[in-house]
Amino acid sequence: MKSRDISEARNPDLRASEAALRRAAQLARQTAIQTDTDLVVVRNGRTIRIPAHTLRYEAKGDGSSASMLITARKD
């Protein structure tokens, strides 16, 4: 079965879901920065903690080397 791009979905809510997820992710980053807490995400099947100081650095626009500051957590 061939999967279609979500932007081609018939359901308007489904088409809008990608933008909603991006807005939610941005809000989570802002909240983590404001509360000085880590943001926990899953990348490549691993749980990753991104410290607030890294998020602040990325928010300033040059997040190119910020990935070195991300800590991986073994589950």
Backbone angles phi, psi at 44, to 5 degrees: 55, 40
User: What is the model's pTM?
Assistant: 0.69
Length of the chain: 75
Q: What does pLDDT average to over the chain? A: 85
14 SS3 class = helix
Residue 8 has pLDDT above 70, yes or no: yes
**What DSSP line would sit under 20-62, residue for residue?**
HHHHHHHHHHHHHHHHT--EEEEETTEEEEE-HHHHHHHHTT-
The structure tokens 């061939």 sit at 2
Residue 62 has pLDDT above 70, yes or no: no
Which amino acid is present at 32? A
Q: What is the pLDDT of residues 9-31, one digit of tens each?
A: 899 999 999 999 999 999 999 99
